[in-house]
Structure 1
């Protein structure tokens, strides 16, 4: 492998097993970008209630986020192949059941229950792929580049996914559209766990069989305050993105404003993709946690500056600039999280980053709606900025681990 400063994205792509492993993971993860709109319209069409559709989506997202660490725990204890195959099969079947129930005009309790069940079974393909990256990209600098590539791919999936789903719904029913992510998650996951990088991974041994030197601390990772210091910036990123989802449309009222809000949110995702690509090429001489905190502060300040402008073009510019810092925050959080948990909790560590972001997104949207309703859009931005800066400050206080420099391989990668 080349020296750290000369590693390119194409060098990471050419690593053994990367194209088929990452490609199949992308196919499986595409299901999550495509499922939201068909699920919403399937529940609405079946029940005739927008409120029921919103409840179904809320429970889908809530169970997916809250139970993600439990699903990751199963993977770390029973192996990727076995657990991912079971989860993807049942998740796909529940989506098919939702399609059938929608076609039969099922009641609100049935549709909402099935949506919640689907979220609880969502296979953690993304977190698992990030652990696999640590095993495929072992050379100094290549893991950072791999995480950047992964983050950009995920941003593009969720940028294009809703648009593709919307086009599909113009020609097929929501019930039929739900079958597409059901197929993709089963097919993509099956291909993913069949690749050499995943198939040959050993099933974790029981802790009782390990020597004392090989054992990792028992109990939840959340007992480690340094790990909390990694999760808080991811929570901040979620709060800001969730706040944007509500605050941006509120700043562009009316029918024409909806289109402008859509463009602005797309620019945030696009800026995040560019930020991830650029960050992956930088060789910053600073410990990982300091980079994480600074990136989070940059995200907070730029996102808050959106409230200073009333001109649509300037708002869009600041949103795109804020997006540049979003992917670096998540990349650094994933990178640092990989240092925690040892061999038996690697998937759980990266999944907690996902969970923190998702919970932050939900909380940010709820807080934005309440603050805007009670006060103003500007007040919501200011309140969110203060809360996020306090969280970053807390992350700085609780994190006292020894400096780690990028780019370098982590000791827990095998």
Structure 2
């Protein structure tokens, strides 16, 4: 297919793309399996859901907080040097957790400490893969499709991962799921770093100055708190907050109708909508700049969820959630693209990691906030409250963009010989 009509097939036909992407997906499947396996194994080993919750929360917190640190190591030393030690350390701690939780009567302290340690080492395969995509497919139109494909695939991994974890727990035991997660991350990481495109990434360890000292530095400053990397990070946090709250609100909605297990159908509708929306979005070429698309997509995602609590039943709720899901993958794809554009050449992995961290932190905050709101507010108001933050952030971003357009247009009129670089994407 010609470059004028790029497609997903063209993305996968790029040299080394299938090999590199497949390796990254294999390793990232671990991140879909481990959380549920660790929860089930911890609860079975200690006999306490409170202890299991503490261990898994500590694991998730360490993963999120230290994600930019691990990404910084990737940017500095390159994937080939930085990823294998992380994968080995992560797999070893997971192996220790699998051995510990394979028996009963386990004390809480060593379990929580090991879970925290495991969260310190997961190799950032998602941000690394998104960095490699920009080298595999330098054409910006193909890059949008690559990011869409990556986001949709990741969404599906986090749907199939828990299903596999449940199957392993039923057939062998939950501790085996933790061990399988360790094996997957090792296999995927070493396959990824053996790819020629990963071997070509040497990092910035030999440079005299680190382009990012305390976090990613924008390649092109746009001004204001929403300039550079600010906009994709802040809006990703808002999306994460909304979706984190949504997970608990769906359970509460179904439980009040004495059909708690049916909440899974609404969750499935969200994932299915995200996959469809992501594939359609990535197949289109957009003339509207990404800095406008991201807040519009964020608002489009949040708006249906603001009224979802008024749905008359679970089927109607699932339909509304599915509509909102159409915009999840497109919004995150755009956030990753903007992060990649804003980052300095030696900070691209960290830029993607900051978007990930913002989304995950927002998700945790949203779930905790929803837990406090349920029972204190009518459920319909809980849904509206969860959607309020991303809606407000999106409107603020659009308003700031609108206020900034007039000076830009005036400057172009005053300097007709200066040709502005179009925003691609």
In structure 1, the residue corresponding to 2:341 is in which secondary structure? coil
Give the structure 2 partner of residue 137 of structure 1: 137
**Which residue of 272, 275, 278 maps to 1:273?**
275
Q: Is the 8 A contact 1:95 1:179 kept in 2?
A: yes
1:103 and 1:3, CA in 2 relative to 1: closer, same or farther beyond 3 A?
closer
Give the structure 1 partner of residue 233 of structure 2: 231
TM-score for both structures, normalised by structure 2? 0.90
Give the structure 2 partner of residue 332 of structure 1: 334
Between the aligned partners of 2:143 and 2:97, the Cα distance in structure 1 is: 39
- Pairing of 1:240-389 with structure 2 (within 5 A): 240-253=242-255, 257-389=259-391
Q: Is the 8 A contact 1:155 1:270 kept in 2?
A: no
Structure 1 residue 143, shift from structure 2 partner: 0.2
Give the structure 2 partner of residue 22 of structure 1: 21
- Pairing of 1:146-157 with structure 2 (within 5 A): 146-157=146-157
Between the aligned partners of 1:155 and 1:283, the Cα distance in structure 2 is: 22
TM-score for both structures, normalised by structure 1? 0.92
In structure 1, the residue corresponding to 2:285 is in which secondary structure? coil
Give the structure 2 partner of residue 87 of structure 1: 86
Q: Does 1:191 align with 2:196?
A: no
1:217 and 1:352, CA in 2 relative to 1: closer, same or farther beyond 3 A?
closer
Give the structure 1 partner of residue 115 of structure 2: 115
Structure 1 residue 75, shift from structure 2 partner: 0.9
Between the aligned partners of 1:157 and 1:380, the Cα distance in structure 2 is: 29
Structure 1 residue 122, shift from structure 2 partner: 1.0
Give the structure 1 partner of residue 98 of structure 2: 99
In structure 2, the residue corresponding to 1:54 is in which secondary structure? helix
Deviates more, 1:270-279 or 1:384-393: 384-393
Give the structure 2 partner of residue 179 of structure 1: 179
Count of aligned pairs: 401
Q: Is the 8 A contact 2:303 2:391 kept in 1?
A: no
Residue deviations 1:105-157, cap 9 Å, x none? 43101111111111111110000000000000112410000001101100111
Residue deviations 1:50-86, cap 9 Å, x none? 0111111111111101110011011111221111101
Q: Root-mean-square deviation (CA), in Å?
A: 2.0
Between the aligned partners of 2:332 and 2:367, the Cα distance in structure 1 is: 19
Deviates more, 1:354-363 or 1:391-400: 391-400
User: Which segments of 5 or more consecutive residues in structure 1 lack a partner in the other structure?
Assistant: 408-414
1:63 and 1:397, CA in 2 relative to 1: closer, same or farther beyond 3 A?
farther
Between the aligned partners of 2:165 and 2:103, the Cα distance in structure 1 is: 22
Give the structure 2 partner of residue 411 of structure 1: none
Structure 1 residue 299, shift from structure 2 partner: 0.5
Between the aligned partners of 1:284 and 1:341, the Cα distance in structure 2 is: 21
Between the aligned partners of 1:217 and 1:176, the Cα distance in structure 2 is: 40
1:397 and 1:60, CA in 2 relative to 1: closer, same or farther beyond 3 A?
farther
Give the structure 1 partner of residue 67 of structure 2: 68
